[in-house]
Amino acid sequence: MPDLRKAAIEFAHTNRDRFLEELSELIAIPSISADTAYRKDIQRAAEWLSEKLKGLGFENIQIMPTAGLPLVYGEYLKAGKDAQTMMVYGHYDVQPADPVEQWDSSPFEASIRGDRLYGRGATDMKGQVIASLAAVEAVLQSGGSSVNIKFFFEGEEEVGSTGLDAAIIENKELFAADFALNPDAGMLSATLPTITYALRGLAYFELHLSGPSHDLHSGLYGGTVLNPANELARLIGGMHDAEGRVLLPHFYDSVRELDDEERKDMARLPHDDTFITEQTGVEILHGEKGYSSAERASGRPTLDVNGLLSGYIGEGAKTVLPAKAMAKISCRLVADQDPEEVHKQLIEYVEENIHPSMTWEVILHSKAVASISEKDSKAIQAMSKAMKEIWSTDPIFRREGGTIPVVGYFQDLLGVESVLTGFGLPEDRMHSPNESLHLPTWEKGIDALIHFIYNVGE
Amino acid sequence: MPDLRKAAIEFAHTNRDRFLEELSELIAIPSISADTAYRKDIQRAAEWLSEKLKGLGFENIQIMPTAGLPLVYGEYLKAGKDAQTMMVYGHYDVQPADPVEQWDSSPFEASIRGDRLYGRGATDMKGQVIASLAAVEAVLQSGGSSVNIKFFFEGEEEVGSTGLDAAIIENKELFAADFALNPDAGMLSATLPTITYALRGLAYFELHLSGPSHDLHSGLYGGTVLNPANELARLIGGMHDAEGRVLLPHFYDSVRELDDEERKDMARLPHDDTFITEQTGVEILHGEKGYSSAERASGRPTLDVNGLLSGYIGEGAKTVLPAKAMAKISCRLVADQDPEEVHKQLIEYVEENIHPSMTWEVILHSKAVASISEKDSKAIQAMSKAMKEIWSTDPIFRREGGTIPVVGYFQDLLGVESVLTGFGLPEDRMHSPNESLHLPTWEKGIDALIHFIYNVGE
């Protein structure tokens, strides 16, 4: 191993405890993007990152307002005009912590137990952000980087990155790069380094139904007017057939089918039924007929209710006929599906099926197209080599079921392809109570990122 | 008009403002039975009533614990052993005030605007309780009553009177009476005094579904496991057919059909479609095919969702695949339907229709049988005469869609038939924000109750 590379790896090992302290500091800021009550914490997290970039010697550091929540940007351009430029992506926002009572330790106070560090954002993705910063610091402290580096941190990934596209369009020159590193995609297991070449898209809606002008006594009026909660349930119940297919009109018309090679690859993944049962606690799996669980988890579109609310939900029995009912409903999309089209399909479904006594509204909360990348680009090959160096095995190339809007935006708006990877594991409980980070994997991840930076600079 | 009767009416008119003050005091106690956070207020309301009975000169006053919430009892037996004994029923608990933000004035601070007094419980039924107390006070202050009087106030009518039957069984001798007065049933309009001869029953359930062991990321697991919120919606959606009939197995088997005379009476009620549209704001009515709105509102059983809760219901978009989903569901029942049978029918429906990956539970919150009374009893005729004296028109005899468990218990356990009436109006928004009491009708109601006490004593 060349001396500089070796020195950088040693620097990372020596400073491991400080990196953990930095991660704990960042977790302690409850930067929840879904709830406006935490806007000051969003700002605090942005400032924390901007200070960190300053400490690394980055220049042109900015907290940039957007139509949504602010971006943090900083650049290291000392590799020179002829060198390649890498954009490192991260998001500093996190999911809400509720149900808070199900956490074994406080969600915003990092707690190390065994091999794991617990806290909201530990794996998704404050842990990954700190790993990227640590790898870059190690390289810069060991003689400097031969690639230019731009950090790009957004604050609204968990709510659909609504202000991101406009901000990218306005700053195309600033954000110009040869490729992007995006460590928000995770590994299949602690022994299987993973590069994700496809992501699902997302269309997230709220469906509101209103019937009576006010909540009614179910004894006096029950039987005379349609109950919006009953009707909402009926509408949702009709959105799937008995074989698990989504029944929005024309939903599958533009879906790109999985090809035979992909289906073969997926059959070799460790994501089999046993794995899913272990991760979810569900013994009998369910989904679209004709596809394996692994295929359904990443290569097929879905429709899921994310939230339901109507009437009286407190303790005991209130005999109310509710005036309104609400569902949060989202579709995961695959390549060639257009979220705006799915929005129209949902509206058409409601129009065709709802009882005429209801007034209703469909709100499109967020949207993102699915993405698919080339597997043999220089940057992806550099990551593949780095992973083999650390894990002594070739990485697995896979589709992922989640959504990262920025990947589509970088591709479409900047012409920048992302190397999608990351060091989170399926058992990390991202988005759930007791989210955690597997520390041995995280430490290997930092080493792999150091190798990656040297590999792309060669 | 005989002098005593006239004096009693005058006493009531003279003391009208004090009665209103008493009503305001009682409304100021948030005696919400559905929420255990208000148990001290339940106790305070019981004590307020017990003090009031003491002030009226009642004896043997008790706040009686039950398996549920306490009863308040007091008796006036000076009419002697040969006189008739009347039990006056009331409930001192109220519905929750939420959604609190939809009230124009504080729900627990009585506010008079125009002809109306606003506040939770104003019409259901603290206003009716104060009217009964006022009428009895007026009679006692004007030479005494020639009927014995027992007051019986329960504190859990709004949550299904779970402790009531056992308490009645334990105190059969104490509660012995010739008939009961129950002013919890209301009038059809301010010009139509009303006696209710039939009530619907109630079976109130919570249906809980659980799937994954914890909330999942809908991107990682969406498509692989059944979503409990989707499944709950599908189950509820299947509980009615397209013609508004309930699809629980054997639901209609024991339903007593309306006879031709009743259907003719109902066709003459002012409860036509226009009336229901005015009261509910719903233009296009809906319910079981083959029955008029008036018939559906009181003579036919129903199934309504009272509450729905699952997943993320806060602001914004959380891409969670929820671990569980809950619905509060209640059925209004008609004569000869057994709430326990309906409980079994719901369990059977879920067993037959639910996906095998779900675990589930049906909780029976409260139950009450429907009731039907004789229209030509001495007590009902005395009330009819009293109402004609005040409103110059014969009262309407009607079925009501609501449920008053105590009526069934008095009938079945004590052999005591209830005169069901009251001075609330359909537009009073009982159980809703901005509940109110129509004061001119309430004042007439006090006068009618005074006449009633003299009539039954003649």
d(CA A214, CA A210): 9
Q: Torsion over CA of A349, A351, A354 and A360, rounded to 10 degrees?
A: 110
DSSP A450: H
Asked if B145 contacts B90 with a C-beta cutoff of 8 angstroms, the reply is no
Angle between helix B228-237 and helix B339-353 axes, rounded to 10 deg: 120
Amino acid at A202: L
Q: Rounded mean pLDDT of B421-426?
A: 95
Which residue in the block uniquely carries the two structure tokens 């997290």?
Answer: A45
The two tokens of residue A444 are: 């290997």
B353-409 pLDDT, tens digit each? 999 999 999 999 988 888 887 778 999 999 999 999 999 999 988 888 988 889 988
Asked if A245 contacts A252 with a C-beta cutoff of 8 angstroms, the reply is yes
d(CA B192, CA A254): 63
Best interface-test mutation with A: which of B118, B220, B366 has the largest number of A CBs within 10 A?
B220
Q: Which of A53-57, A128-132, A373-377, B448-452 has the lowest mean pLDDT?
A: A373-377
- Residue from the list A224, A328, A431 with its beta carbon closest to the beta carbon of B217: A431
Judged by CB atoms closer than 8 Å, whether chains meet at A286 and B355 is answered as yes
d(CA A290, CA A143): 55
* Residue A36 banded pLDDT, cuts 50, 70, 90: very high
Beta bridge partners of A104: none
Beta bridge partners of B309: A309, B326
**Average pLDDT taken over every residue of chain A:** 95
* Residue B156 banded pLDDT, cuts 50, 70, 90: very high
Please give the share of chain B, as a percent, with pLDDT higher than 90: 84
ipTM: 0.76
The two tokens of residue A159 are: 């709510």
Beta bridge partners of B287: none
Q: Rounded mean pLDDT of B406-432?
A: 92
Judged by CB atoms closer than 8 Å, whether chains meet at B287 and A224 is answered as yes
In angstroms, the first-to-last Cα distance of chain B is: 13
- Helix or strand or coil: residue A126? helix
The two tokens of residue B124 are: 């259901």
CA angle A48–A51–A55, rounded 5-degree value: 135
Q: What share of chain A is helix, strand, coil (3-state, %, to 5)?
A: 40, 25, 40
Reply yes or no on whether the pLDDT at B1 is more than 70. Answer: no
- Residue from the list A98, A214, A302 with its beta carbon closest to the beta carbon of B222: A302
d(CA B431, CA A77): 67
pTM score, whole prediction: 0.76
The Cα of B121 is separated from the nearest Cα of chain A by a number of Å equal to 13
Reply yes or no on whether the pLDDT at B177 is more than 90. Answer: yes
Q: Classify the C-alpha dihedral A139-A140-A143-A148 as positive or negative.
A: positive
More confident call, B386 vs B198: B386
- pLDDT for B354: 98
The Cα of A432 is separated from the nearest Cα of chain B by a number of Å equal to 6
d(CA B366, CA B156): 11
d(CA B425, CA B123): 8
d(CA A106, CA A124): 17
Those residues whose C-beta lies under 8 Å from the C-beta of residue A106, and which sit 6 or more positions away, are none
Which residue in the block uniquely carries the two structure tokens 């705006």?
Answer: A340
* Residue A262 banded pLDDT, cuts 50, 70, 90: confident
Reply yes or no on whether the pLDDT at B197 is more than 90. Answer: no
Q: Rounded mean pLDDT of A420-426?
A: 95
Judged by CB atoms closer than 8 Å, whether chains meet at A326 and B313 is answered as yes
Reply yes or no on whether the pLDDT at B2 is more than 80. Answer: no
Angle between helix A127-140 and helix A439-457 axes, rounded to 10 deg: 50
Find out if CATH 3.40.630.10 is the number for domain A3-199+371-457.
yes
- Helix or strand or coil: residue A385? helix
- Buried-exposed string B98-121: b where 16+ CB fall within 10 A, e elsewhere: beeeebeeebbebbbeeebbbbbb
Q: Please give the residue of chain B at the shortest CA–CA distance from A400.
A: B220
Asked if A61 contacts A50 with a C-beta cutoff of 8 angstroms, the reply is yes
Best interface-test mutation with B: which of A225, A284, A432 has the largest number of B CBs within 10 A?
A225
Judged by CB atoms closer than 8 Å, whether chains meet at A222 and B36 is answered as no
Best interface-test mutation with A: which of B184, B304, B329 has the largest number of A CBs within 10 A?
B304
The two tokens of residue B93 are: 């608990």
HEC secondary structure over B285-336 = CCCCCCCCHHHHHHCCCCCEEEEEEEECCCCCCCCEECCEEEEEEEEEECCC
* Contacts with B332 from chain A: Cβ below 8 Å: 218-219, 222-223
- Sequence length of chain A is 458
d(CA B204, CA B188): 26
d(CA A62, CA A185): 26
Helices vs strands, H then E, count in chain B: 14, 18
**Domain A202-255+301-368, CATH number (from 3.40.395.10, 2.40.10.10, 3.30.70.360, 3.40.1190.20):** 3.30.70.360
The Cα of B364 is separated from the nearest Cα of chain A by a number of Å equal to 10
Q: Rounded mean pLDDT of A72-92?
A: 97
The Cα of B22 is separated from the nearest Cα of chain A by a number of Å equal to 26
Q: Rounded mean pLDDT of B257-281?
A: 88
Asked if B76 contacts B59 with a C-beta cutoff of 8 angstroms, the reply is yes
Judged by CB atoms closer than 8 Å, whether chains meet at A220 and B430 is answered as yes
Q: Rounded mean pLDDT of B105-130?
A: 98
What are the extents of the domains in chain B?
Answer: 3-199+371-457, 201-255+301-368
Judged by CB atoms closer than 8 Å, whether chains meet at A215 and B431 is answered as yes
CA atoms within 13 A on the CB side of A210: 9
If residue A279 lies in a helix (H) or strand (E), which one and from where to where? helix A273-280
Instruction: Report the DSSP pairing between strands A359-368 and A304-311.
Output: unpaired
The Cα of B353 is separated from the nearest Cα of chain A by a number of Å equal to 11
Q: How far, in whole angstroms, is CA B167 from its chain's centroid?
A: 19
d(CA B430, CA B228): 33
Amino acid at B85: T
d(CA A134, CA A18): 10
- Give me the CATH topology for the region B201-255+301-368: Alpha-Beta Plaits (3.30.70)
Helices vs strands, H then E, count in chain A: 14, 18
**Average pLDDT taken over every residue of chain B:** 95
Q: How far, in whole angstroms, is CA A307 from its chain's centroid?
A: 18
- Residue from the list A216, A308, A401 with its beta carbon closest to the beta carbon of B309: A308
Which residue in the block uniquely carries the two structure tokens 């590994």?
Answer: A187
Reply yes or no on whether the pLDDT at A1 is more than 70. Answer: no
Question: Are domains B3-199+371-457 and B201-255+301-368 of this chain identical in fold?
Answer: no
- Helix or strand or coil: residue A83? coil
- C-beta atoms surrounding B235 within 10 Å: 23
Reply yes or no on whether the pLDDT at B240 is more than 80. Answer: yes
Instruction: Report the DSSP pairing between strands B179-182 and B418-420.
Output: parallel
d(CA B114, CA B128): 19
* Contacts with A237 from chain B: Cβ below 8 Å: 233-238
- Sequence length of chain B is 458
Best interface-test mutation with A: which of B199, B308, B360 has the largest number of A CBs within 10 A?
B308
Peptide bond into A125 cis (omega under 30): yes
* Contacts with A251 from chain B: Cβ below 8 Å: none
Those residues whose C-beta lies under 8 Å from the C-beta of residue B6, and which sit 6 or more positions away, are none
Beta bridge partners of B216: B321
Judged by CB atoms closer than 8 Å, whether chains meet at B317 and A219 is answered as no
